């Protein structure tokens, strides 16, 4: 994972901790929230990995039972080891594997973010996330007005909070930071939406950011 991507993920988690009415968080407040967020990340990652291990054990037991109860092995002597048997790949098993892969990937991502934040010597990940949060606090009215303007009549207070936070992060980077490639900012906002929000969110966020880019002469 690149440091800048980790910073965006961390900023997204940071934004989720903000009050509904944006208050003026100090540098210390933001750092404390980040510390709390990293602890939550590592704790959740540990729980998710434990869940995955449990599911893998359950699947292994089911495979062992399937093997033992197969007609080839039912007819073998009691003291003979079971023979391996063909295993049908059912949709149920495929679904379980996909679910475990998804959980494991999210857990590993969380641990990578935590590692970047706590071990990275220059503090670039944490500082970049804090910079996004600080710039949003200073310009939140303008940022939210843009989201409202381009949301086709949706009341911003009724938008999915995750979508709002992803848009807020991307718009801050596009308008006030301008040190990351525009395409990267948009692509990673879409990836955040696919990972954390609803099925329709990525297209919605892409459309809003496209209008921000065009109307502000960034293209």
DSSP, residue by residue, 95-118? HHHHHHHHHHHHHHHHHHHHHHHH
Q: What average pLDDT does range 173-201 have in this prediction?
A: 88
Across the range 56-66, mean pLDDT stands at 82
Burial of 126 (0-12, 13-18, 19+ CB in 10 A): buried
Which helix or strand (DSSP H or E) is residue 180 part of? none
Average of per-residue pLDDT across 137-156: 85
Mean pLDDT of the 169-191 span: 91
Of 139, 136, 163, nearest to 151 by C-alpha is 163
pLDDT band at 88 (very low <50, low <70, confident <90, very high): low
Among the listed residues 157, 156, 165, the one whose alpha carbon sits nearest the alpha carbon of residue 192: 165
Give the model's confidence band at 166: pLDDT under 50 very low, under 70 low, under 90 confident, else very high.
very high
Whether the pLDDT of residue 36 is over 90: the answer is no
Q: What is the mean pLDDT of residues 169-190?
A: 91
Query: Quick check: 40 and 151 in contact, CB under 8 A?
Result: no
Average pLDDT over residues 196-206: 86
Average pLDDT over residues 14-31: 79
**Tokens 């940022």 — which residue?**
143
Give which of 161, 170, 50 is closest to 100, Cα–Cα: 50
Burial letters 170-201, b for 16+ CB under 10 A, else e: bbbbbbbeeebeeeebbebbbebbebbbeeeb
Angle between helices 3-16 and 182-196 (to 10 degrees): 50
Under the banding of pLDDT at 50, 70 and 90, the label for residue 5 is confident
CA 149/CA 16 separation, integer angstroms: 22
What pLDDT is recorded for position 1?
47
Who wins on pLDDT, 36 or 112? 36
Q: How far apart are CA 174 and CA 62, in angstroms?
A: 51
Q: Full-prediction pTM beyond 0.75?
A: no
- Per-residue confidence band for 142, with pLDDT thresholds at 50, 70 and 90: very high
Domains annotated on the chain, with CATH: 3-215 (1.10.940.10)
Mean pLDDT across the stretch 144-152? 88
């Amino acid at each position: 994972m690149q440091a800048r991507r980790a910073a965006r993920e961390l900023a997204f988690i940071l934004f989720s901790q903000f009050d509904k009415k944006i208050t003026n968080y100090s540098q210390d407040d933001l750092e404390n929230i980040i510390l709390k967020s990293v602890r939550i990340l590592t704790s959740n990652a540990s729980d998710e990995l434990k869940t995955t291990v449990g599911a893998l054990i359950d699947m292994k037991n089911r495979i062992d039972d399937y093997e033992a109860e197969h007609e080839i092995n039912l007819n073998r002597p009691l003291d003979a080891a079971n023979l391996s048997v063909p295993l049908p790949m059912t949709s149920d098993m495929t679904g379980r594997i996909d679910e475990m892969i998804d959980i494991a990937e999210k857990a590993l991502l969380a641990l990578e973010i935590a590692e970047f934040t706590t071990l990275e010597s220059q503090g670039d990940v944490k500082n970049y996330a804090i910079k996004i949060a600080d710039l949003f606090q200073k310009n939140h009215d303008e940022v939210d007005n843009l989201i409202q303007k381009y949301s086709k009549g949706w009341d911003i207070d009724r938008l999915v909070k995750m979508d709002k936070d992803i848009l807020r992060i991307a718009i801050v980077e596009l308008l006030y930071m301008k040190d990351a490639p525009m395409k990267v900012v948009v692509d990673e906002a879409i990836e955040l939406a696919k990972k954390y929000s609803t099925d329709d969110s990525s297209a919605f966020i892409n459309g809003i950011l496209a209008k921000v880019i065009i109307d502000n002469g960034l293209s």
